[in-house]
């Protein structure tokens, strides 16, 4: 600042015109870079790879530099700084354009460095939130209450019905295996998910016996549809935990799927009542929050998820999943 | 010892019954699959010991205990219930984690037998004496309190404050109803507001209007109303 002020005051006479001219010049520079930025944004230059970006960037810099040189001319005329032979001298054109190129080049470096860091930060944050959701999912899926109760039932079955006990051990190990490998799989076929749900309900029926009735209505077309792993299982488990297990006389769990207009609709109905503001805040709401977060991460606003009470003492949980689009996860 | 098993799952009851075969000192007098059934059976069979599951449809194990006037010895059985079990950290109470291990069960029964031996003459009359215990739940915390440890009861609206050790949790009950259930040789209705445990009385002073001020061990003072003073003097002077 001090230096600029000193420089200006030392060459007073010519300087007033010079200053006006410099102001116009910087104003045009600002306009050009601003336009350039808008252009880059609309053409997504930030996501281009280096070999594709660099030639574009250098041509743009040259175009802007030359444009800048000629944009100065209409200004220099009224200010009396116009010198025809000098202005259209090729050496002068090239020299000054080079100066401007250097300026625009510096600007680009600053601009791209800033934006790359910004994007890196954002992607780190997104990754962190994805990991966090995965972790809390894993925690909620490894439901100790379920596992130990199942083991306890199996212990009793060993005497009463050894074959059934063996089957139950297989079902339990399938569930545990699925829970542990989920993290590595982004999506799973609904057919596979259905197997886990059947194993889960098989184990719970050993525990609840005649108090738990199940009912499946599966559209064959849904089996190859890709779904987030253990999502349906978690919701069915919710239905058992908050619905059936609270009812002295037990109840029914129904699972119904349908593929309509390319989307998979999954409806889970269970006996009981859904209380949005349940006393068990620590555990009750977690599964549902996780589910909607997962759907949001995978499908953006493309998926639908809702839970509601129906008239005849039934709770309906409904998910509608669009065919998979991976783009939203990577960007 | 006569025991009642309370669990909503048939297989869980069966497994525990099987494990208890090793312990002839425990006689299973019944099995209940929910709190309502259990309450009925406790009243009919008057068991000494409950094996009680916490999570059940309808009322939970805790709610069952709260509804009982006198609580038998209790061993909780649960698969996993960190919140519920935390409530008992301060108490010397036993619980078994499912699947139940035979050694743990033996330990628990051993402890129970010792507790039982320390007691004498429980269940002789229908009234609650110093040997009986009650279950008290106040918010997140729970206690099994022997009536001998309770210094006095104080009515507070629809609730009763129970004074023992450094605690004074509230129970939802009227002082009149409680008074009817307590053994009159051990507990005395001092006034409209208080019932005192006679075994805690340390000193008596005359008070205004012909009443008395009773000093309890531990420093509490409870006023005896004029109406009750004469009766109190009678009781305390042989």
DSSP assignment string, B118-131: H--STTSSSSB-TT
Query: Do B23 and B114 have their domain in common?
Result: yes
What tokens does A264 get? Answer: 């998979």
- Interface mutation target, options B5, B36, B79, chain A, most CBs of A under 10 Å: B79
Cα separation of A165 and A213, whole Å? Answer: 20
Query: φ, ψ for residue B28 (rounded to 5)?
Result: -85, 115
Confirm if B73 and B115 have CB atoms less than 8 A apart: yes
| pLDDT score, position A144 | 84
What tokens does A300 get? Answer: 């953006």
Domain end (from A100, A131, A162): A131
Query: Do A114 and A211 have their domain in common?
Result: no
Q: Which of A278-287, B114-123, B139-148, B158-167 has the lowest mean pLDDT?
A: A278-287
A206, closest residue in chain B (CA to CA):
B11
Confirm if B175 and B153 have CB atoms less than 8 A apart: yes
> Using beta carbons and an 8 Å cutoff, which residues of B are at the interface with A?
8-12, 14-15, 18, 34, 55, 57-58, 79-81, 83, 97-100
Cα separation of B203 and A279, whole Å? Answer: 47
- Please provide the DSSP assignment of A31-98 as one string: HHHHHHHHHHHHTTGGGS-HHHHHHHHHHHHHHHHHHHHHHTHHHHTTTT---HHHHT-HHHHHHHHH
Query: Do A206 and A320 have their domain in common?
Result: yes
Whether the link from the prior residue into A231 is cis, omega within 30° of 0, is no
Cα separation of A319 and A259, whole Å? Answer: 12
Residues in A touching B10 (Cβ below 8 Å) = 209
For the cut 90, the answer to whether the pLDDT of residue A212 exceeds it is yes
Residues in B touching A160 (Cβ below 8 Å) = 11, 14
Residues in B touching A246 (Cβ below 8 Å) = 57-58
**Do residue A144 and residue B80 have CB atoms under 8 angstroms apart?**
yes
Query: Do A98 and A180 have their domain in common?
Result: no
| pLDDT score, position A328 | 38
More confident call, B141 vs A244: A244
Q: At what angle do helices A144-160 and B10-20 cross, to 10 degrees?
A: 60
Query: Do B160 and B73 have their domain in common?
Result: no
Residue B226 belongs to some domain of the structure: yes
Tell me A239's DSSP state. Answer: I
Query: Do B105 and B16 have their domain in common?
Result: yes
**Do residue A145 and residue B55 have CB atoms under 8 angstroms apart?**
yes
For the cut 90, the answer to whether the pLDDT of residue A217 exceeds it is yes
Q: For residue B134, what pLDDT band results from cuts at 50, 70 and 90?
A: confident
Confirm if B213 and B205 have CB atoms less than 8 A apart: yes
B97, closest residue in chain A (CA to CA):
A148
Give the contacts of A241 (CB within 8 A, at least 6 positions apart): A143, A145, A146
Residue A162 belongs to some domain of the structure: yes
Q: What is the residue whose two structure tokens read 């982004």?
A: A186
Domain end (from B62, B88, B118): B118
Share of chain A above pLDDT 90, in %: 33
Residue B211 belongs to some domain of the structure: yes
Average pLDDT over residues B82-98: 67
Q: Which of A89-103, A268-282, A288-302 has the lowest mean pLDDT?
A: A268-282
B18, closest residue in chain A (CA to CA):
A156
Residues in B touching A157 (Cβ below 8 Å) = 11
More confident call, A86 vs A207: A207
Cα separation of A15 and A5, whole Å? Answer: 11
| pLDDT score, position A329 | 39
For the cut 60, the answer to whether the pLDDT of residue B105 exceeds it is yes
Residue B127 belongs to some domain of the structure: no
Confirm if B32 and B58 have CB atoms less than 8 A apart: no
For the cut 80, the answer to whether the pLDDT of residue B124 exceeds it is no
Cα separation of B191 and B236, whole Å? Answer: 16
For the cut 90, the answer to whether the pLDDT of residue A169 exceeds it is yes
| pLDDT score, position A6 | 44
Burial class (CB in 10 A: 0-12, 13-18, 19+), A315: buried
| pLDDT score, position B125 | 52
Residue A93 belongs to some domain of the structure: yes
For the cut 90, the answer to whether the pLDDT of residue B119 exceeds it is no
For the cut 80, the answer to whether the pLDDT of residue A74 exceeds it is no
Of B218, B186, B189, B185, nearest to B202 by C-alpha is B218
For the cut 60, the answer to whether the pLDDT of residue A224 exceeds it is yes
Chain B CB within 8 Å of residue A157 CB: yes
**Do residue B9 and residue A149 have CB atoms under 8 angstroms apart?**
yes
Domain range for A101 is 2-131
Query: Do B87 and B170 have their domain in common?
Result: no
| pLDDT score, position B88 | 66
- According to DSSP, the β-strands at A251-260 and A212-217 are parallel
Query: Do B145 and B111 have their domain in common?
Result: no
Q: For residue A2, what pLDDT band results from cuts at 50, 70 and 90?
A: very low
What tokens does A286 get? Answer: 């977690």
Helix (H), strand (E) at residue B42: helix B35-45
Dihedral sign for Cα atoms in the order B38, B40, B41, B47: positive
Query: Do B114 and B157 have their domain in common?
Result: no
Residues in A touching B58 (Cβ below 8 Å) = 246, 248
Dihedral sign for Cα atoms in the order B15, B19, B24, B25: negative
Cα separation of A235 and B160, whole Å? Answer: 43
| pLDDT score, position A162 | 95
**Do residue B11 and residue A153 have CB atoms under 8 angstroms apart?**
yes
More confident call, A49 vs A6: A49
**Do residue A156 and residue B58 have CB atoms under 8 angstroms apart?**
no
**Do residue B55 and residue A156 have CB atoms under 8 angstroms apart?**
no
Confirm if A180 and A137 have CB atoms less than 8 A apart: no
- pLDDT tens for B29-78 read 999 999 999 999 999 999 999 999 988 998 988 889 888 888 888 898 98
For the cut 70, the answer to whether the pLDDT of residue A141 exceeds it is no
Average pLDDT, chain A: 82
Provide the H-helix boundaries in A182-245: 190-208, 231-238
Q: Give the minimum alpha-carbon distance from B33 to chain A in angstroms, rounded to a whole number.
A: 9
Query: Do B107 and B194 have their domain in common?
Result: no
- Residue ranges of A 200-229 with Cβ closer than 8 A to chain B: 206-209
- CATH for A239: 3.30.565.10
- CATH for B169: 2.40.50.1020
Residue A271 belongs to some domain of the structure: yes
Q: How many domains does chain A have?
A: 2
Cα–Cα distance list, B229 to A36, A43, B198, B204, B208 (Å): 98, 96, 14, 11, 11
Residue A23 belongs to some domain of the structure: yes
A–B: how many Cβ contacts below 8 A? 58
Query: Do B90 and B142 have their domain in common?
Result: no
Share of chain B above pLDDT 70, in %: 90
Residue A167 belongs to some domain of the structure: yes
What tokens does A14 get? Answer: 């010519």
Cα–Cα distance list, B12 to B15, B21, B33, B39, B75 (Å): 5, 15, 10, 19, 15
- Interface mutation target, options A139, A143, A149, chain B, most CBs of B under 10 Å: A149
Cα separation of B105 and A277, whole Å? Answer: 39
For the cut 90, the answer to whether the pLDDT of residue B13 exceeds it is yes
Q: Give the minimum alpha-carbon distance from B32 to chain A in angstroms, rounded to a whole number.
A: 12
Confirm if B94 and B76 have CB atoms less than 8 A apart: yes
Average pLDDT over residues B119-145: 74
Q: Give the minimum alpha-carbon distance from B135 to chain A in angstroms, rounded to a whole number.
A: 23
Q: Give the minimum alpha-carbon distance from A184 to chain B in angstroms, rounded to a whole number.
A: 28
For the cut 50, the answer to whether the pLDDT of residue A282 exceeds it is no
**Do residue B80 and residue A152 have CB atoms under 8 angstroms apart?**
no
For the cut 80, the answer to whether the pLDDT of residue B8 exceeds it is yes
Domain end (from B54, B87, B118): B118
Residue B124 belongs to some domain of the structure: no
Query: Do B228 and B199 have their domain in common?
Result: yes
For the cut 60, the answer to whether the pLDDT of residue B238 exceeds it is no
Grouping H, G, I as helix, E, B as strand and the rest as coil, residue B1 is: coil
| pLDDT score, position B3 | 95
| pLDDT score, position A136 | 66
Query: Do A127 and A177 have their domain in common?
Result: no
Residue B81 belongs to some domain of the structure: yes
What tokens does A273 get? Answer: 């009542």
Domain end (from B118, B145, B176): B118
Q: How many domains does chain B have?
A: 2
Q: Give the minimum alpha-carbon distance from A294 to chain B in angstroms, rounded to a whole number.
A: 27
- Residue ranges of A 240-299 with Cβ closer than 8 A to chain B: 245-248, 250, 282
| pLDDT score, position A277 | 58
Q: Which of A78-87, A90-99, B41-50, B141-150 has the lowest mean pLDDT?
A: A78-87
> pTM for this one?
0.67
Q: Give the minimum alpha-carbon distance from A323 to chain B in angstroms, rounded to a whole number.
A: 39
- CATH for B19: 3.40.50.2300
Tell me A322's DSSP state. Answer: P
| pLDDT score, position B146 | 86
For the cut 80, the answer to whether the pLDDT of residue A103 exceeds it is yes
Burial class (CB in 10 A: 0-12, 13-18, 19+), A94: middle
**Do residue A152 and residue B12 have CB atoms under 8 angstroms apart?**
yes
| pLDDT score, position A4 | 45
For the cut 60, the answer to whether the pLDDT of residue A223 exceeds it is yes
For the cut 80, the answer to whether the pLDDT of residue A3 exceeds it is no
Q: Which of A83-97, A292-306, B153-167 has the lowest mean pLDDT?
A: A83-97
Average pLDDT over residues A142-160: 90
Domain end (from A131, A156, A189): A131
Domain range for B89 is 2-118
């Amino acid at each position: 600042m001090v230096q600029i002020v000193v420089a200006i005051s030392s060459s007073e006479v010519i300087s007033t015109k010079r200053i006006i001219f410099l102001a116009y010049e910087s104003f045009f520079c600002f306009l050009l870079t601003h336009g350039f930025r808008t252009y880059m944004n609309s053409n997504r230059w930030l996501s281009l790879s280096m070999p594709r970006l660099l030639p574009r960037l250098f041509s743009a810099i040259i175009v802007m530099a030359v444009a800048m040189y000629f944009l100065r001319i209409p200004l220099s005329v009224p200010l009396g700084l116009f010198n025809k032979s000098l202005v259209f001298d090729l050496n002068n054109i090239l020299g000054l354009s080079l100066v401007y190129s250097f300026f625009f080049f510096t600007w680009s470096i600053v601009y791209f460095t800033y934006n790359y860091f910004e994007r890196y930060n954002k992607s780190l944050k997104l990754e962190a939130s994805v990991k966090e959701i995965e972790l809390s999912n894993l925690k909620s899926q490894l439901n100790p209450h379920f596992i130990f109760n199942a083991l306890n039932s199996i212990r009793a079955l060993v005497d009463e019905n050894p074959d059934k006990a063996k089957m139950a051990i297989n079902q339990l190990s399938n569930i545990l295996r699925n829970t542990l490998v989920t993290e590595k799989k982004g999506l799973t076929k609904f057919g596979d998910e259905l197997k886990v749900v059947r194993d889960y309900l098989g184990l719970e029926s050993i525990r609840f016996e005649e108090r738990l009735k199940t009912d499946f209505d599966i559209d064959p077309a849904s089996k190859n549809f890709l779904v987030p792993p253990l999502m349906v299982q978690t919701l069915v488990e919710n239905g058992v935990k908050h619905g059936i297990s609270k009812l002295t006389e037990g109840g029914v769990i129904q699972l119904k799927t349908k593929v309509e207009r390319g989307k998979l609709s999954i409806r889970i109905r269970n006996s009981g009542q859904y209380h949005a503001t349940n006393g068990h805040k620590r555990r009750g709401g977690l599964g549902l929050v996780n589910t909607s977060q997962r759907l949001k991460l995978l499908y953006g606003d493309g998926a639908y998820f809702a839970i509601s009470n129906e008239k005849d003492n039934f709770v309906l949980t409904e998910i509608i999943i669009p065919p998979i689009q991976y783009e939203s996860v990577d960007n | 010892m006569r025991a009642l098993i309370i669990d909503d799952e048939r297989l869980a009851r069966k497994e525990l019954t099987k494990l208890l075969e090793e312990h002839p000192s425990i006689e299973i007098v019944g099995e209940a699959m929910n709190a309502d059934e259990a309450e009925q059976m406790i009243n009919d069979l008057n068991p000494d010991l409950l094996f009680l599951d916490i999570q059940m449809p309808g009322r939970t194990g805790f709610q069952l205990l709260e509804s009982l006037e006198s609580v038998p010895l209790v061993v909780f059985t649960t698969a996993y219930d960190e919140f519920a079990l935390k409530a008992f950290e301060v108490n010397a109470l036993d619980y078994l984690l499912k699947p139940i291990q035979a050694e743990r069960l033996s330990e628990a029964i051993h402890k129970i037998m010792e507790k039982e031996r320390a007691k004498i003459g429980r269940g002789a009359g229908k009234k609650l004496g110093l040997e009986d215990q009650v279950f008290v739940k106040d918010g997140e915390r729970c206690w099994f309190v022997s009536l001998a440890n309770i210094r006095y009861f104080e009515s507070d609206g629809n609730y009763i404050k129970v004074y023992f050790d450094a605690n004074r949790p509230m129970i939802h009950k009227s002082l009149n109803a409680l008074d009817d259930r307590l053994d009159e040789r051990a507990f005395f209705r001092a006034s409209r507001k208080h019932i005192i445990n006679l075994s805690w009385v340390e000193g008596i002073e005359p008070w205004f209007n012909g009443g008395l001020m009773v000093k309890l061990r531990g420093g509490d003072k409870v006023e005896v109303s004029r109406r009750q003073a004469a009766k109190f003097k009678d009781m305390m002077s042989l």
